Amino acid sequence: MTSRFLAMSRKRRTGLQPVFTFTLILILVSTVAAEQLSVAVKVLPSKSSDEQTGMPAQVAAPRLQPTTPGGKLPQYQLGHHQRVIPTEAELKDPRLRLLLVLSSELVLIEATITIDGQPFRMAREARIQKIIEEASRPAPPVETVSKETETELVESEASVNEEKPTVDGEDENAPNEEDEKTSEEKKPEEAPEEPEQEPVAEPTVAPYSMATTVAERIRRYMKVTGEAASPDEVRWLMTNWVDGPVLLMLNDNFQRFRANQRPVYHVLDRDRNGTISADELELAVASFNECDLNRNDIVDYTEIAKVADDPRLKKTQHAGPGKIIFRVPDEKSATATYQRIAARYPSTGEALAPTMLRFDLNSNGRFDSNELLAIRTARPDLSFTIAFDSSTPTKSRMTVTAEDKTFVKQITNGIAEETMIQLPLGGTSVLFSAIQSGASDQISIGAVNDGYPILPVIDPNEDGRFTIRELRGLEESLLKFDTNKDGNITSDEAQATIRICFGLGPIVHGELAGLRRVNAKPITPTELGPEWFVRMDRNKDNDLTRSEFPGTDEQFQELDADQDTLVSAAEAKKTSP
């Protein structure tokens, strides 16, 4: 890969003809067979606001919703450099170049992203045209009640109050003699006449109300400026005032916070020396049982996290590796981006890390103009095609292709299951996925050092807890991480997985906040036991222990056919009539 960049640099210095270079590239491409993997895009169910809050519609408390991008999207980068209005050429270009920073190498990625067959930025353009058309029409009339109608309503209510039903032909409202006497006795003295007040003028300005649609906000903007809004103005207002940029990148803190989440590793490493020894592996079940804080014979994720975060046992850790995915910078931000990437690769003496030399051809410690051009035009290591279909989400797909021989091998060794592509890149496991919920004109991209290297792997049914039966296979599951077969598990052997997600709409933060899925295949449904079995199973782990069974030892042993000290649902069904 480095030779390709060096060849391009020599062309500029020696004046080689473009035709020769183009022919050379064709020869190189033709000698390598492209490999690709393809999966479906994960579709999230669309939920109403009531369903999202979990509150019934009739009792849902009204909440003020943020109206600016900063309030709506706190998880994403919204700095001024993220809100640059794209050029005409960029609007029509579905491609996006990214640099993925791994521990041992930099990976150049090109993502071609479309929404309903159009370049992803064109979805915002189509929406802008609809907004301009709607904002150009007169505002819908506000329903008001005229004075005449209001007077009629007041008189009608008064007449209804006066007309009460009669009993036996008598008027209940007619005063009797006792009422007249009482009223005369209680009649107050006449109050002095108040001076007449001048009539209040009718309001000339309608009461203010919040704009409920983007078109209404643009209509008000046009009324203030006195001019029709141009597409450029609406584009700027949409980016800075309403929904935020078309392309949303997760902010740095979100990409950093998960990296050190290793609760299982900390619990198993009883002496906290950074290595899970063979002796500690033998005590794995005991270490987990010590996390059973409520003593219900089930160890759940939250209990493991509480024990792992005990400040008396936990050692101080660094803040994490930081940002791991960058857009290819422009010349203004090239130096800052270079420095942030280079910080991940320590230099050897005064020499730059070999990884950085791949792009910094003259070793001057920055991305020059010609080097940026090479990054933008060179053949990418991995090419992604993410085709979002908002009308038929089941047709949305993500495909990764590699033509370079190094990355062809990575794709050959990769795994594509349902909505996930897993690739071994530079000794690191990287998971790629794409998600969508509903129609949107925004694309979100995020990458996280996922942390939790062990937890999802050892939970066979991914239900967030470990039962007695599941803990019996714990040591065997943990030995999968002992790649060098020395009986110990080191931090290098239990590395965090990197997850990269592309989303239609600002939704990747929710996907990357949860634990990754390891068992892509559907879990076999749990076999239910008879009614008496379900009643006795107090902790709902689908097994009966001796303490849960109210009968005698002889009865329990008779039910426990395999003599494993647990009565399963299947064993209970066999003995039931």
| 414-430 pLDDT per residue, tens | 999 889 999 998 788 89
Q: Which residue has the higher pLDDT, 256 or 219?
A: 219
CA distances from 540 to 453, 466, 529, 548 (A): 27, 12, 11, 11
pLDDT for the residue 174 = 55
> Phi first, then psi: what are they for 128, rounded to 5°?
-60, -40
Q: What's the token pair of residue 526?
A: 């749990």
Distance CA 234, CA 1 (A): 43
Q: Is pLDDT above 90 for 496?
A: no
pLDDT for the residue 532 = 92
Query: Would you list the DSSP string of 219-255?
Result: HHHHHHHTSPPPHHHHHHHIIIIIS--SEEEB-HHHH
Q: Which residue has the higher pLDDT, 108 or 451?
A: 108
pLDDT for the residue 363 = 85
Query: Would you list the DSSP string of 407-430?
Result: HHHHHHT-EEETTEEEEEETTEEE
pLDDT for the residue 23 = 34
95 exposure class (CB count in 10 Å sphere: 0-12, 13-18, 19+): middle
Q: Is pLDDT above 90 for 172?
A: no
Amino acid identity, residue 487?
A: G
DSSP state letter for 40: E
> Phi first, then psi: what are they for 520, rounded to 5°?
-65, -30
Kindly indicate the confidence band of residue 187, based on its pLDDT and cuts at 50, 70 and 90. low
pLDDT for the residue 197 = 77
Distance CA 518, CA 131 (A): 43
Kindly indicate the confidence band of residue 4, based on its pLDDT and cuts at 50, 70 and 90. very low
Distance CA 54, CA 48 (A): 10
Distance CA 345, CA 105 (A): 9
Q: Is pLDDT above 70 for 6?
A: no
- Helix (H) / strand (E) element for 532: namely helix 531-536
Q: What's the token pair of residue 39?
A: 């999966």
Mean pLDDT of 153-171: 53
Distance CA 208, CA 186 (A): 47
Distance CA 441, CA 130 (A): 13
Residues 6 or more apart in contact with residue 532 via CB below 8 angstroms = 572, 576
Q: Which residue has the higher pLDDT, 444 or 137?
A: 444
